[in-house]
């Protein structure tokens, strides 16, 4: 079971961060976030074709590009600017998008006006929206800008996933190629011809199998979580950084002490003018030197801003400059050596075998940053309705952003192995990886410029300058990467089309289902006033009706009552609403209200959650709702902080404390949870006998009983009577109603609409069950089938 997490725990941890915490987070971040940046020297210059190293001045130009690219993008843009735009500790393109959804009202998360009132009812909360400005009004008015921002967010997420597929393959295969060269150098045969054949075979056949084995081991470690992986990998990165910095200093003094002259930007200009098209194409490989910068931002939820920034500025940046300078110094004087652009060749002969061992370990660690970023991005997409349901495991009870997604982990592993086995060419994989890296950075630049203008409320000129300066640099690298499209970059386009289609189809299907629910809901009067004419009877117990709408009666429940005219003496309509915020404070979690008059005993509970909250998988979720309704009943007469909804007043109720004032929980022994079974052609339930026949035992669940508090005689008579009825209904049993919707397309619909709905249907059938259904006993679950024609 996933651990229960307090949204305030990790927030307070970061806000009250001490130097002890900063050092601890900095140490862990080395093994999780900075592995990719640290291991980049293994493959950056390797992916540049050797024929492009025409002269010593060409090497100077390439090093100049590396230095200034790292300085402008990694240091200035990410470490000093973008890290400041966190969404309450969460980073990545979807975090920027959620900020814009909240403060510029550009979200396309399906909602009606009543739902918006409920979702954004946040008086006294830390998520107040800013005052309207002319720029916000202009963007909110034009629907096309909303779709554009959603496209940018999805595009950036797809690039992060693509990076998570390609980078492990690239870094591990690069290190494994060093293993092949190292083994070939220690082979010995009396026949030179035979020795050459053995060396060639080792270089050709060792890298790919060893890379696949390392990748499988790497992905199998992910279930241990960020905390443990960080402690395992951090020492490896520290040793690796010490080694490459030492080699860099050695090469600078041994081969070319004047390499730092290349820090002058004039060498970049000379490089472009002298090499023309071939030199420009090689810049698609140079952008890999900042691979990991976007992952540094996307993985922000795993660590604190201070620790990430200090680690990069004080350690990562200077070490990498020394490493690249030393490698450039070696290459500039050894252009006639075979394999001169491999980092291993610049290592002194006595240490080359040690270097190979470290490089293999570092390449595995280097892949961790993109894998972690992929988990974070997909977790955000899930909460905002842009990705099919998958299981998310929170691996830390202190830092909520540390997540592990098993399905995505194995999918990334399969795709990475496919890339390694299919291409087995570092240059081709590097071309695709470079395009993924720079495309994701360009999306971040676009969204960040809007955050500067709309959220930070800086001068419009500052936002434009940010967009033009960083956008121009990144657009240059995009053009260089596109020149390598035929060399392997096309594979990224294939990954993008697949992942974007899944995300867009899921978002489209979710939106259409919600629109159908809004259009086909019935008024509460239909249930309370007209249903007696249908002969509807009330049966003992509590009925939970899970629905996406926050007003009216969902179509599937009216369909149920029409076919089988009976429902429970207490009805609770439960709606989950995702807010574009990382988390909702427990004290602001629930909105409770009545549906109809008091004597109907029908309630509505709106559960608000952020994209980092994990409340639906909780085993005591039902208990929390019942106790929240008890609090609502006791507070209803005196509450001054409430929301007037179309159905009446709704009161904010926090997560109930163990010593509640309305209902006192009494933990009962393990017992079966039962419910009346309803059978119909379209109304299905899952009886206990069915589960037994299939080999699954009936669900055994800890049932919590309730009693009135000792001071209940002091309550108003009506309040005490209503609470007692709630307790009695709980004792009688509980049933859960879920709508099973099936989307179909109208005749004559266009191909795009049909394709999106078909993709959504396929994903819906093959994805995880809705989280709320996972802990419901089969005997108590009633699923009502509905066909939605859109």
pLDDT, position 496: 92
Q: What is the pLDDT of residue 668?
A: 54
- Give the residue-averaged pLDDT of 142-162: 85
CB 481 within 8 Å of CB 489? yes
Asked if the structure places residue 759 within a domain, the reply is yes
pLDDT of 160 reads: 87
The overall average pLDDT reported for the chain is 78
| Alpha-carbon dihedral sign for residues 516, 518, 524, 526 | negative
Please indicate, yes or no, whether residues 161 and 212 belong to a single structural domain of this protein: yes
Reduced to 3 states (helix: H, G, I; strand: E, B; else coil), residue 414 is: helix
Q: What does the pLDDT read at residue 278?
A: 76
- pLDDT band for 645, please (50, 70, 90 cuts): low
| Per-residue pLDDT reduced to its tens digit, 443-491 | 999 999 988 988 888 888 888 999 999 999 999 999 988 888 887 788 8
What percentage of the chain reaches a pLDDT higher than 90? Answer: 13
325 vs 596: CA distance, rounded Å: 74
In which element (H, E) is residue 604 found? strand 602-609
Same domain, 266 and 394: yes
Furthest-apart CA atoms within the chain: distance in Å: 103
| Helix pair angle (266-286, 460-482), 10° resolution | 70
**Is the same domain home to 101 and 212?**
yes
Question: Does residue 782 have a pLDDT over 80?
Answer: yes
Domain extent at residue 460: 37-122+135-487
Give percent of the chain above pLDDT 70.
Answer: 75
pLDDT in tens, 677-704: 343 334 444 333 333 333 334 444 556 6
Same domain, 557 and 428: no
Angle, vertex CA 229, rays to CA 227 and CA 230, nearest 5 = 65
Residue 66 has pLDDT above 90, yes or no: yes
172-181, 311-320, 718-727: range with lowest mean pLDDT = 172-181
Domain annotation covers residue 344: yes
Same domain, 465 and 518: no
For residues 272 and 451, what is the distance between their CA atoms, to the nearest angstrom? Answer: 34
Q: Distances from the Cα of 254 to the Cαs of 42, 199, 718, in angstroms?
A: 20, 29, 90
Residue 321 has pLDDT above 80, yes or no: yes
Cα dist. 62→253, 304, 749 in Å?
20, 34, 53
- Domain of 459: which CATH number? 1.20.1740
First to last CA, the chain: 38
Specify whether 222 is located in the same domain as 105. yes
**Which of 540 and 231 is assigned the larger pLDDT?**
540
Calculate ∠ Cα 115-117-121, nearest 5°.
120
In this structure, are 610 and 467 located in the same domain?
Answer: no
Is 677 a domain residue? no
Residue 470 is assigned to a structural domain of this protein: yes
Choosing from 456, 487, 518, the residue where a domain stops is 487
The verdict on 423 and 520 lying in the same domain is: no
| Residues 77 and 114 placed together within one structural domain of the fold | yes
Residue 122, helix vs strand vs coil: coil
Number of compact structural domains in the chain: 2
What tens digit of pLDDT does each residue of 396-420 get?
655 555 778 888 999 999 999 999 9
- The phi and psi torsions of 628 (rounded to 5 degrees) equal -65, -40
Burial class (CB in 10 A: 0-12, 13-18, 19+), 386: buried
DSSP H helices, 206-265, are: 207-220, 225-255
Comparing 710 with 671, the larger pLDDT belongs to: 710
| Most confident listed range (74-83, 130-139, 734-743) | 74-83
Q: What is the pLDDT of residue 523?
A: 80
> Does 493 score more than 80 pLDDT?
yes
Q: Residues 230, 165: one domain?
A: yes
Work out the pLDDT band at 667, boundaries 50, 70, 90.
low
User: According to the model, what pLDDT value does residue 117 have?
Assistant: 53
- Average pLDDT of 707-723? 74
pTM score > 0.85 for this model? no
Residue 140 lies in a domain: yes
**pLDDT classification of 29: cutoffs 50, 70, 90:** confident
Does the residue 531 lie in any domain?
yes
Residues 290 and 350 in one domain: yes
Has residue 554 been placed in a domain? Answer: yes
Given a cut of 80, whether residue 613 has pLDDT beyond it is no
> 325 and 255 in one domain?
yes
| More confidently predicted of 684 and 162 | 162
Domain end, chosen from 487, 520, 553, is at 487
Tell me the pLDDT band of 93, cut-offs 50, 70 and 90.
confident
Looking at the domain assignment, is residue 697 inside a domain? Answer: no
């Amino acid at each position: 079971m996933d651990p229960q997490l307090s949204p305030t725990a990790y927030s307070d941890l970061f806000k009250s961060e001490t130097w002890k915490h900063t050092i601890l987070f900095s140490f862990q971040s080395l093994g999780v976030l900075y592995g990719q940046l640290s291991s980049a020297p293994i493959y950056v210059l390797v992916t540049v074709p050797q024929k492009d190293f025409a002269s010593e001045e060409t090497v100077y130009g390439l090093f100049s590009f590396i230095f200034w690219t790292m300085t402008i993008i990694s240091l200035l843009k990410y470490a000093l600017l973008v890290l400041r735009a966190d969404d309450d500790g969460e980073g990545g393109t979807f975090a920027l998008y959620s900020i814009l959804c909240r403060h510029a009202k550009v979200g396309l998360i399906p909602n009606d006006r009543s739902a918006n009132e409920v979702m954004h009812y946040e008086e006294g909360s830390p998520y107040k929206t800013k005052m309207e400005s002319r720029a916000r009004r202009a963007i909110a008015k034009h629907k096309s800008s909303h779709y554009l921002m959603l496209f940018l967010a999805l595009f950036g997420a797809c690039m992060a996933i693509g990076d998570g597929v390609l980078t492990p393959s690239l870094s591990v295969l690069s290190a494994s190629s060093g293993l092949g060269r190292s083994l070939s150098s220690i082979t010995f045969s009396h026949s030179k011809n035979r020795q050459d054949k053995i060396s060639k075979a080792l270089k050709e056949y060792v890298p790919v199998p060893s890379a696949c084995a390392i990748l499988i081991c790497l992905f199998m470690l992910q279930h241990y979580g960020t905390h443990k992986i960080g402690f395992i990998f951090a020492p490896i990165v520290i040793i690796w950084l010490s080694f490459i910095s030492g080699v860099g200093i050695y090469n600078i003094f041994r081969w070319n002490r004047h390499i730092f002259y290349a820090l002058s930007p004039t060498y970049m200009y000379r490089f472009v003018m002298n090499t023309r098209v071939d030199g420009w194409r090689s810049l698609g490989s140079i952008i890999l030197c900042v691979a990991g910068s976007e992952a540094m931002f996307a993985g922000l939820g795993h660590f604190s801003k201070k620790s990430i920034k200090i680690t990069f500025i004080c350690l990562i940046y200077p070490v990498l400059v020394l490493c690249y300078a030393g490698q450039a110094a070696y290459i500039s004087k050894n252009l006639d050596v075979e394999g001169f652009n491999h980092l291993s060749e610049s290592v002194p002969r006595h240490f080359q075998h040690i270097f190979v061992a470290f490089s293999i370990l570092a390449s595995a660690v280097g892949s961790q940053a993109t894998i972690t970023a992929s988990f974070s991005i997909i977790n955000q997409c899930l909460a905002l309705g842009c990705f099919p349901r998958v299981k998310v495991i929170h691996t830390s009870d202190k830092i909520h952003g540390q997540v592990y997604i098993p399905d995505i982990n194995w999918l990334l592993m399969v795709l990475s192995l496919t890339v390694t086995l299919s291409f087995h060419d570092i240059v081709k994989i590097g071309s695709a990886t470079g395009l993924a890296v720079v495309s994701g950075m360009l999306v971040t630049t676009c969204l960040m410029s809007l955050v500067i203008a709309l959220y930070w409320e800086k001068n419009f000129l500052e936002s434009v300058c940010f967009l033009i300066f960083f956008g121009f640099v990144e657009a240059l690298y995009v053009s260089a990467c596109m020149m390598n499209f035929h060399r392997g970059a096309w594979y990224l386009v294939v990954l993008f089309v697949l992942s974007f289609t899944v995300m867009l189809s899921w978002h489209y299907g979710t939106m259409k289902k919600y629109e159908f629910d809004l259009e086909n809901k019935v008024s509460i009067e239909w249930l309370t006033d007209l249903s007696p004419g249908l002969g509807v009877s009330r049966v003992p117990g509590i009925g939970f009706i899970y629905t996406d709408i926050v007003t009216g009666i969902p179509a599937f429940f009216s369909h149920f009552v029409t076919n089988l005219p009976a429902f429970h003496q207490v009805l609770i309509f439960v709606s989950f609403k995702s807010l574009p915020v990382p988390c909702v404070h427990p004290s602001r979690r629930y909105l409770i209200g009545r549906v109809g008059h008091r004597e109907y005993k029908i309630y509505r509970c709106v559960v608000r959650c952020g994209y980092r909250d994990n409340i639906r998988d909780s085993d005591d979720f039902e208990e929390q709702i019942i106790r929240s309704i008890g609090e609502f009943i006791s507070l209803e007469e005196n509450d001054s902080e409430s929301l007037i909804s179309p159905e009446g007043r709704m009161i904010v109720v926090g997560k109930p404390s163990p010593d509640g004032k309305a209902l006192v929980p009494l933990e009962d022994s393990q017992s079966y949870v039962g419910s009346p079974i309803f059978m119909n052609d379209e109304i299905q339930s899952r009886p206990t006998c069915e589960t037994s026949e299939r080999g699954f035992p009936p669900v055994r669940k800890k049932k919590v009983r309730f009693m009135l508090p000792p001071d209940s005689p002091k309550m108003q008579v009506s309040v005490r009577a209503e609470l007692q009825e709630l307790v009695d209904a709980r004792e009688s049993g509980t049933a859960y109603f879920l709508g099973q919707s099936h989307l179909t397309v109208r005749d004559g619909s266009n191909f795009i609409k049909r394709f999106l709905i078909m993709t959504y249907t396929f994903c819906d059938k093959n994805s995880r069950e809705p989280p709320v259904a996972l802990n419901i006993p089969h005997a108590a679950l009633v699923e009502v089938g509905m066909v939605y024609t859109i």
